[in-house]
Amino acid sequence: MRTQFSAIVAFSSVLLAAGLSQAAGGSSSTNSTDSATANVTATVVAPITLNKTSDLSFGTFTSDTAACTVAVSANNTQTVTGNCAPLSGSTISAAAFTVGGSGNRNFTTNVSATSPTLSDGAGHTMGLTLQNNAPTHLTNGAATINVYGSLAVAANQAAGSYADTVTVTVSY
């Protein structure tokens, strides 16, 4: 009977110790909780837009027995170096694009030609070098991009109409 009494006392001591431990904040089945809130917001801006207002035109000119360069500037001025001769009455213009969008946002511009040459479709080409004056941000939701450049005209360049396309891509 003494062994049974010792076991009861030992078991009671364990229960008492467990109760004291919970009362002292040790292992508790009730956790403390807290919460906080965060605002959720979104801003929708106008999509960026791009519209062509003019094409890049190097004008009309003659070739000669020596190579030459024909260039068009951002302000629609033609320059001919070498023995080619510009002819009056033709349209000279840089390609122009208007960009629209939201506020004074930054944007990127990519300008690429379909080919590094202009072709007459009959196997004759002229080397094309492009430049642009694209800004890096909108001003009050607007910007203008001009695409201009130069042609490398070969000696005795074949007569004909030469063409290619230029693609301008803008993105926020």
Q: Which range is least confidently modeled, 29-33, 59-63, 117-121?
A: 29-33
Angle at 68 between CA 66 and CA 74, to 5 degrees: 175
Please state the pTM of the whole predicted model: 0.77
CATH number of the domain bearing residue 120: 2.60.40
Residue 164 lies in a domain: yes
Domain that holds residue 64: 49-171
- pLDDT higher at 99 or 7: 99
The number of distinct structural domains making up the chain is 1
Answer whether residue 7 shows pLDDT above 50: no
* Average confidence score pLDDT of the chain: 88
Residue 137 to residues 38, 41, 43, 53, 59, Cα–Cα distance (Å): 32, 25, 19, 19, 31
CA-based nearest residue to 166, from 126, 114, 96, 94: 114
